[in-house]
């Protein structure tokens, strides 16, 4: 018994060591890449006017934060979160509606397929004319990009509910509403989680795309502006900030997933 | 007392390709406390009969009376148990068992106590807060049976409830289920293609023909033992098996 426990302890220790090893290598890799970039710029192996460099990014970050960096970050984050929430909630609601009505689902199927394959960016001009060139248009673009995928993946999850379980509930006299709330929705939690994860990524695509089209502020605006006036430092700095924001939002969703899975 | 009476019941399915006669002129009656097994070749329409009795589908012609009243929709008078246990993975055993009363909005304290008694009696009390994945196949099927019993049905409909279990477990679960059904004084209609299972558990065996299913023959199994396992050891078990087997294959 004692020997067994030791073995288990050994196993745990090995496991922990491996995790530490992975994280260490991950950090070293980042340091290495940033270092190479900086060195290459420093010794002029690359033209830092075009490629920028970590030190120039840091300098730009300092400059921006004394100006209105927070406004830009906040604008983009705000648009992204609003778009993410609207498209997720609305998409799931529509998917439930389509699950409920077989007729509606069959009628709308070709429309959804076409909308899914349509590049949403093509709708840019229409959006601007319809809702105006502002934050609304950007949120609209985000929603358009996210919602179709949300509807399709959620609906697939809802439809995949075990027929036998539905039969069981019906034999107990369950109403359609009860089948939905007691079986289909709780059984589709894994689907909802994967939809959230997909949407986190897509919402950023939509927001930045929207800002490329129309915007007076935001990280997408900074990137486009920087590109136009050839300030690659600004482009790179905004991209790095974007990376951080996307990572934070992804981890927030991962946290929600962890909380939901623990019971 | 007569629990179920099927009189000249037929059912025809409509699909785009064709019209399929699933069952034809079935007449069958089950009295209180009886354990009946329907056996027949696979795909002959056995499950369709259970769907009809449970009120999930309506017959094309003929009448089905449950306790003297015609069936027009699913009711709590019948309890359906399927091939797989169909326990909800995100609910504890206790919550799973409470599914029926929850649907019927009858989760009173008395009902809960009644169900707690069942859980205690059949060895699942200590596992009431476990999730289905933490239980063995046999225990899960027992939980499924208690879930069916929770609505206090008059007639249990068992659709090959042991077929998803391995052979060893199947024998003991079959024994358990028989014991529980008898001690709760329920009437049961079992559908199976496993002849030895039917002979071991049923009071009466109804042999069905190939599709469209109709009643081919009926046998009263007169092996006088208490449990399915004992029956399997009885001297006349083999004889009954042969008789039924021949009847099914011809």
CATH assignment at residue B53: 3.40.50.300
Residue A88's pLDDT is 94
Q: How far is CA A187 from the centre of its chain?
A: 23
Containing structural domain, residue B36: 1-75+188-250
Query: Has residue B203 been placed in a domain?
Result: yes
Using DSSP bridges, classify how beta strands B204-208 and B61-66 pair: parallel, antiparallel or unpaired.
unpaired
| The model's pTM | 0.84
Query: Has residue B173 been placed in a domain?
Result: no
B16-71 per-position pLDDT tens digit: 888 888 888 888 889 888 899 998 887 778 888 888 898 888 889 888 988 888 88
- Distance from the A261 Cα atom to the nearest Cα atom in chain B, whole angstroms: 10
Residue B40's pLDDT is 84
Nearest CB to A171; choose among B80, B102, B104: B80
Residues of chain A contacting residue B104, judged by C-beta atoms under 8 Å apart: 172-173
Nearest CB to B103; choose among A174, A186, A187: A174
Residue A4's pLDDT is 64
Residue A1's pLDDT is 52
Half-sphere exposure of B60 (CA within 13 A, CB side): 14
Which residues numbered 178-197 in A keep a CB inside 8 Å of some CB on B?
Answer: 178, 182-183, 186-187, 189
**Are B82 and A164 within 8 A, CB to CB?**
yes
**Are B54 and A169 within 8 A, CB to CB?**
no
Give phi and psi for B155, each to the nearest 5: -125, 125
B102 to chain A, any CB pair closer than 8 A? The answer is yes
Query: Chain B interface, mutation test: which of A163, A167, A172, most B Cβ atoms within 10 Å?
Result: A172
Query: Rounded to whole angstroms, what are the CA distances from A249 to A88, A197, A201?
Result: 14, 10, 9
- The tokens for B122 are 């059949």
- The tokens for B134 are 């933490």
Residue A2's pLDDT is 55
Query: Has residue B71 been placed in a domain?
Result: yes
Q: What angle do CA A52, A56, A62 make, to 5 degrees?
A: 140
**Are A168 and B54 within 8 A, CB to CB?**
no
CA–CA distance, B82 with B63 (Å, rounded to integer):
24
Residue A63's pLDDT is 85
Query: Has residue B180 been placed in a domain?
Result: no
Using DSSP bridges, classify how beta strands B78-81 and B155-159 pair: parallel, antiparallel or unpaired.
parallel
B57 to chain A, any CB pair closer than 8 A? The answer is no
CA–CA distance, A56 with A207 (Å, rounded to integer):
26
Domain ranges of chain A: 2-46, 57-261
Closest listed residue to residue B173, CA positions, set B202, B199, B213, B140:
B140
Q: What angle do CA B71, B43, B32 make, to 5 degrees?
A: 40
Nearest CB to B80; choose among A168, A183, A187: A168
Q: Return the residue of B nearest to A178 by Cα.
A: B103
Query: Rounded to whole angstroms, what are the CA distances from A140 to A151, A153, A189?
Result: 16, 20, 27
A178-208 per-position pLDDT tens digit: 999 999 999 999 999 999 989 988 999 999 9
Contact residues for B71 (Cβ-Cβ < 8 A; gap 6+)? B52, B53, B55, B64, B65
Residue A158's pLDDT is 95
The reply to whether CATH 1.10.3720.10 applies to domain A57-261 is yes
What letter would DSSP give residue B223?
-
Contact residues for A125 (Cβ-Cβ < 8 A; gap 6+)? none
Using DSSP bridges, classify how beta strands B187-192 and B69-70 pair: parallel, antiparallel or unpaired.
unpaired
B63-80 per-position pLDDT tens digit: 898 888 888 888 888 899
- The tokens for B101 are 């009363």
* Through-space distance between the first and last CA atoms of chain A, rounded to whole angstroms: 30
Query: Has residue B202 been placed in a domain?
Result: yes
Give phi and psi for B188, each to the nearest 5: -135, 145
Tens of pLDDT along chain B (250 residues)? 788 888 888 888 888 888 888 888 888 889 888 899 998 887 778 888 888 898 888 889 888 988 888 888 888 888 999 888 899 999 999 999 999 999 988 888 888 888 898 898 888 899 989 999 999 888 898 899 899 988 888 899 999 888 878 888 888 888 888 888 888 888 999 998 888 888 888 888 898 888 888 888 888 887 777 788 888 888 888 888 888 888 887 6
Using DSSP bridges, classify how beta strands B187-192 and B35-39 pair: parallel, antiparallel or unpaired.
parallel
What interface predicted TM-score (ipTM) does this complex get? 0.87
CA–CA distance, A110 with B167 (Å, rounded to integer):
48
Using DSSP bridges, classify how beta strands B19-31 and B69-70 pair: parallel, antiparallel or unpaired.
unpaired
Half-sphere exposure of A179 (CA within 13 A, CB side): 21
Query: Rounded to whole angstroms, what are the CA distances from A261 to A197, A253, A256, A258?
Result: 15, 12, 9, 5
**Are A182 and B99 within 8 A, CB to CB?**
yes
Residues of chain B contacting residue A183, judged by C-beta atoms under 8 Å apart: 88
CB B217 within 8 A of CB B208: no
CB A120 within 8 A of CB A193: no
Residue A184's pLDDT is 95
Residue reference for tokens 């003929």: B62
- Distance from the A106 Cα atom to the nearest Cα atom in chain B, whole angstroms: 17
Tens of pLDDT along chain A (263 residues)? 555 668 888 899 999 999 999 999 999 999 999 999 999 888 888 887 888 888 888 888 888 888 888 888 888 898 999 999 999 999 999 999 999 999 999 999 999 999 999 988 888 888 888 988 788 889 999 999 999 999 999 999 999 999 999 999 999 989 999 999 999 999 999 999 999 989 988 999 999 988 888 877 888 888 988 888 888 888 888 898 999 998 898 888 889 888 887 65
Q: How many structural domains compose chain B?
A: 1
Closest listed residue to residue B219, CA positions, set B184, B195, B235:
B195
How many C-beta neighbours within 10 Å does residue A224 have? 17
């Amino acid at each position: 018994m004692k020997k067994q426990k030791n073995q288990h302890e050994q196993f745990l220790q090995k496991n922990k060591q491996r995790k530490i090893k992975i994280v260490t290598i991950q950090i070293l890799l980042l340091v290495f890449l940033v270092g190479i970039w900086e060195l290459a710029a420093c010794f002029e192996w690359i033209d830092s006017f075009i490629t920028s460099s970590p030190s120039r990014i840091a300098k730009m970050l300092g400059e921006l934060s004394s100006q209105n960096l927070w406004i830009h970050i906040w604008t983009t984050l705000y648009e992204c979160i609003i778009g993410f929430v609207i498209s997720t909630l609305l998409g799931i609601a529509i998917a439930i509606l389509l699950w409920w009505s077989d007729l509606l689902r069959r009628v709308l199927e070709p429309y959804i397929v076409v909308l899914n394959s349509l590049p949403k960016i093509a709708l840019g001009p229409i959006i601007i004319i319809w809702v105006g060139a502002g934050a609304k248009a950007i949120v609209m673009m985000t929603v358009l990009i996210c919602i179709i995928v949300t509807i399709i993946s959620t609906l697939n999850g809802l439809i995949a509910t075990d027929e036998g379980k539905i039969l069981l509930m019906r034999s107990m006299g369950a109403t359609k509403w009860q089948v939905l709330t007691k079986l289909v929705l709780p059984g589709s939690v894994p689907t909802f989680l994967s939809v959230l994860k997909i949407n986190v990524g897509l919402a950023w695509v939509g927001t930045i795309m929207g800002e490329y089209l129309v915007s007076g502020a935001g990280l997408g605006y900074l990137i486009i502006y920087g590109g136009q006036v050839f300030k690659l430092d600004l482009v790179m700095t905004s991209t790095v900030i974007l990376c951080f924001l996307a990572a934070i939002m992804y981890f927030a969703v991962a946290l929600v997933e962890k909380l939901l899975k623990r019971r | 007392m007569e629990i179920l009476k099927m009189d000249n019941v037929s059912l025809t399915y409509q699909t785009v390709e064709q019209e399929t006669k699933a069952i034809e002129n079935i007449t069958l009656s089950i009295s209180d406390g009886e354990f009946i097994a329907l056996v027949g070749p696979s795909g002959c329409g056995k499950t369709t009969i259970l769907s009809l009795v449970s009120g999930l589908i309506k017959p094309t012609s003929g009448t089905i009376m449950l306790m003297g009243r015609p069936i027009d929709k699913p009711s709590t008078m019948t309890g359906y148990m399927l091939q797989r246990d169909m326990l909800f993975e995100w609910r504890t055993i206790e919550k799973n068992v409470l599914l029926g009363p929850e649907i019927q909005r009858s989760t009173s304290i008395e009902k809960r106590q009644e169900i707690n008694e069942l859980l205690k009696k059949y060895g699942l009390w200590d596992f009431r807060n476990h999730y289905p994945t933490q239980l063995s196949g046999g225990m899960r099927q027992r939980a499924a049976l208690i879930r069916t019993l929770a609505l206090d049905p008059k007639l249990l409909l068992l659709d090959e409830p042991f077929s998803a279990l391995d052979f060893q477990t199947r024998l003991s679960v079959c024994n358990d289920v028989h014991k529980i059904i008898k001690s709760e004084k329920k009437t049961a209609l079992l559908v199976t293609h496993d002849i030895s299972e039917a002979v071991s558990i049923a009071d009466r065996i109804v042999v069905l023909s190939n599709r469209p299913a109709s009643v081919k023959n009926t046998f009263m199994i007169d092996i006088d033992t208490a449990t399915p396992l004992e029956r399997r050891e009885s001297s006349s078990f083999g004889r009954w098996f042969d008789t039924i087997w021949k009847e099914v294959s011809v």
